[in-house]
Structure 1
Amino acid sequence: MPFVTVEYSERLADTFDRKGFAREVHEVAPPSINASTEAFKTRFRRIEESYFGAAEDDIDAVFVQVAILSGRTPKAIEELSETVLEIARKHVTGLAGRRLHVMVETREMERDFYRAHKE
């Protein structure tokens, strides 16, 4: 915990340094929410098909969702979102002739209801 889920357009598979993104998020982001590097977990999902607006088919996208336990200040959450957005933009390159949208949403998970098991 935190959980980072990244969905990205299939076309970006060769231009998105996913390992570099995850490594940097895990190293840089923890202080903004008082978490440890070891706590961060990132997974990636390739988007095979997506549609934007009214028939806009020249857009590739990276959607990042960061789920954190509740209790952080709005400023800390905003700082985390900005940090993750900056890191994502460094690790993905748009394709020639196409537009690139990179979005980050940080959401809180209710601390009282979160459970985990580790072995």
Structure 2
Amino acid sequence: MPFVTVEYSERLAATFDRRAFAREVHEVAPAPINASTEAFKTRFRRIEESYFGADEDDLDAVFIQVAILSGRTPEAVEKLAGTVLEIARKHVSGVEGRRLHIMVEAREMERDFYRAHKE
């Protein structure tokens, strides 16, 4: 915990340095929310098919969701989202002739209802 889930358009597979993105998120993003680097877990999902707006066939997207346990200030959550967006912008570039949208949602998970098992 925190969980970072990244969904990205299939066309971005060659232009998105996912390992560098995750490494930097794990190093930099903990600070705004007072978390540890070891706590961050990131997973990626390639979007094979998607539709945006009305006939927007020239658009590729990266959707990033960062789920953290509740109890942070709104300012800390906002800072986290901004930090992750900046990192993503450094590690993904658009495909020539196509538009790129990168979106980040930082959200809290209710601490009382979160459970985990570690071995």
TM-score, shorter chain, exceeding 0.5:
yes
- Counterpart-to-counterpart distance in 2, 1:33 and 1:22: 17
Q: Distance in 1 between matches of 2:40 and 2:62?
A: 19
Unaligned runs of 5+ in 2: none
Corresponding residue for 2:31? 31
Q: Which residues of 2 match residues 42-53 of structure 1 at below 5 A?
A: 42-53=42-53
Matched residue SS, 2:101: strand
How big is the shift at 1:31? 0.9
List structure 1 segments (4+ residues) > 6 angstroms apart after TM superposition.
none
Return 5+ residue gaps in structure 1 as ranges: none
Percentage of pairs with the same residue: 85
How far residue 80 of structure 1 moved from its aligned partner, in angstroms, is 0.1
Count of matched residue pairs: 119
- TM-superposed deviation, 1:86: 0.3
Name the residue aligned to 1:15. Answer: 15
Superposed, which structure 2 residues align to 1:1-119 within 5 Å?
1-119=1-119
Instruction: Provide the rounded CA distance (Å) in 2 between the counterparts of 1:105 and 1:57.
Output: 24
Write out per-residue CA displacement over residues 68-87 of structure 1, whole angstroms, 9 at most, x where no aligned residue. 00000000000000000000
